Structure 1
Amino acid sequence: MVQSPLEFRHLRTLVALRDAGSLVRAAQLLNLTQSALSHQIKLLEDRYAAPLFERKSVPPQFSAAGLRLLALADTLLPQIAEAERDVARLLDGQTGQLRIAVECHTCFDWLMPAMDAFRHRWPEVELDIVSGFHADPIGLVHQNRADVAIVSELDEAEAVDYHPLFSFEIRALLAHTHPLAAKPYLVAEDFADQTLITYPVPDEMLDIVRQVLEPAGVRVARRTTELTIAMLQLVASGRGLAALPLWAVQGYLDRGYVAARPVGPQGLTGRLYAASGKNAKPYLGDFVQITRESCFLSLKGIALL
């Protein structure tokens, strides 16, 4: 009997290439180097003596052979994932809960779609967002009031497991008529005589303060609001500057509502992690994977950690 060269990873590669739209993004989605991904595809193409997709097209245009393998992947991969979830259910019981605590106001933009996808795969798991904003969400995990916390920093002193989610650029936002809009990027000193418009959180929870202003010894006046749109309205009216994730404001930038500039010549990067207790349920890993994949495919300009 001739052994098939097809493996589970090959099918995942083809699906990732289709969903991500390019080799570069597919490699990020699968946590592989682009050369390793290309090597996988080349082995299959050599085996079948046929190209699987057009290299120069973006998004990739699959050949007849590539489409047939994609059809196989779309049939088998969901069945494999379902079988793995069934095994987890058999080993760990049929029900459970996943209580999520967040420290960032913009998290809900991507958290709700991820929760919807998770609910579809794990309908027996009760999902809940711990009510209100929490300055110390990991504390809720320790108190058994939450099962997972979405946080922006790693603290090795905490007795939790950190699951990397994604990184993203934070841009300074300002009115189009603001004098600083003439600069290619802003530095800490540019904020010195400005009002910084933020969510109502402590200074140490703001990347712009923690990574940029505080190290430079720059202190600024702050004005706070709960809503992103209210923050942008204040910026557009010339009441101050803001610094927000690019993915959270891209729609407003596309409509020309406010201007955006990088913070520093290399830009300012934020990161998000899911923190859980040491004895987390098996379905937590699926939640993390679903979150990473859904965010990577739907949020502009993020990179998986």
Structure 2
Amino acid sequence: MRLDIKHWQLLDAIARFGSLGHAAEVIGVTQSALSHRLAEAERRLGSAIFERDGRRLRVTPAGQALLETAQTVLPELERAEQDFERVAANASYLVRIGVSSYSAYHWVPGFLSSVNNQREKLQLDFIAAATRDAQTALLSGATDLLISPGLITNSALEGKKLFQDELVLVTHPEHPLAKKAYIEADDLADQDYLTYSLDALPGFEYEQFIRPAGVRPRHMQLVEMTDAIVEMIGVNLGVSILSRWALSRALNQGLVSAVPLTRKSLPLTWYVMSRKSDRSNAAIRLTEKNLLHWFKAPEASFNNSSGG
């Protein structure tokens, strides 16, 4: 190997913070020392890794592959150290779980009860950061398993189907659209629409339902937390298209209503995503197996607000 671990850490820090100054502060060395370290790495490799773009550093096409490797390997090394420390201290194995896109954790108490006999040696943490930046959270090691509405396409990740859901229009119970058997995209033309993301996510409502009809809601408002969207709908401040499962508790309590999209409905498949590099991690595989079993069990049905 031509590069040392300090060089890989440098690549990751510069890519994340965009400048030598910020990267040096995070790593804990002077900017001058970090500049010399970068020059040393580029000298060893015989080519530039970064190029200047004003005051910022931008990774070169050749350096991009190095950066992707650094972002994969460094979290793996950090997790290996943490796992060693836990085993050495006879501590439980830690598995971090996140839910992508939706702040939907109504199923957690029931799930934890189902694996209660394993919890002495298996600690499960639930990571909110995955809701907004799911892929990064999983790739970086912030989470080990991800409950995802849709399959994330990345060569470093793999997914297994958890359950079948559907996207529905969510309205106030007394909203005129709540009385319809189903809605078409044209029904949104005069609505105030609340969305947790302005990106046109593959497989979701904008790509499958709204854009093909050439319809744009009267007003679109970005509300990045789905819990907040539900609260706003509950006082009739707009409508949204969301997962029926993720809103099962609010639906069961009558806070909001759900209307199918089109006569055939708009399906949504949920997956449990993991890193391929963790295939031999027994704790992660056991937790994944428990999740797959739980979401197929009767107590995890959509009609049980405490179980799923």
Structure 2 length normalisation: TM-score? 0.56
Q: Is the 8 A contact 1:169 1:301 kept in 2?
A: no
Matches within 5 A, 1:12-31: none
In the alignment, the residues of structure 1 paired with residue 189 and residue 183 of structure 2 have an alpha-carbon distance, to the nearest angstrom, of 11
Structure 1: 5+ residue stretches without partners: 1-92
Q: CA deviation at 1:248?
A: 3.9
Distance 1:120 1:279, change over 3 A: farther
Q: CA deviation at 1:207?
A: 2.7
Q: 1:265 aligns with which of 248, 263, 266?
A: 263
Q: Which amino acid aligns with 1:120?
A: N
Which residue of the partner structure matches residue 106 of structure 2? 109
In the alignment, the residues of structure 1 paired with residue 136 and residue 226 of structure 2 have an alpha-carbon distance, to the nearest angstrom, of 26
Which residue of the partner structure matches residue 18 of structure 1? none
User: Does 167-176 or 110-119 show the bigger shift?
Assistant: 110-119
Same amino acid, percent of matched pairs: 23
Matches within 5 A, 1:44-123: 95-118=92-115, 120-123=117-120
In the alignment, the residues of structure 2 paired with residue 116 and residue 234 of structure 1 have an alpha-carbon distance, to the nearest angstrom, of 32
Matches within 5 A, 1:136-147: 136-147=133-144
Q: Is the 8 A contact 1:198 1:225 kept in 2?
A: yes
Which residue of the partner structure matches residue 215 of structure 1? 212
Distance 1:184 1:243, change over 3 A: same
Q: 1:300 aligns with which of 282, 288, 302?
A: 302
CA offsets 1:146-189 (integer angstroms, 9 cap, x no match): 32222222244432221221121232122344333443211112
Distance 1:133 1:192, change over 3 A: farther
In the alignment, the residues of structure 1 paired with residue 202 and residue 108 of structure 2 have an alpha-carbon distance, to the nearest angstrom, of 19
Structure 1 length normalisation: TM-score? 0.57
2:247 is the counterpart of 1:245: no
Distance 1:187 1:291, change over 3 A: same
Distance 1:238 1:273, change over 3 A: same
User: Does 149-158 or 186-195 show the bigger shift?
Assistant: 149-158
Q: 1:170 aligns with which of 155, 167, 170?
A: 167
Q: Which amino acid aligns with 2:286?
A: D
In the alignment, the residues of structure 2 paired with residue 173 and residue 234 of structure 1 have an alpha-carbon distance, to the nearest angstrom, of 11
Residue aligned with 2:208, SS = helix
Q: CA deviation at 1:203?
A: 4.4
In the alignment, the residues of structure 2 paired with residue 113 and residue 186 of structure 1 have an alpha-carbon distance, to the nearest angstrom, of 33
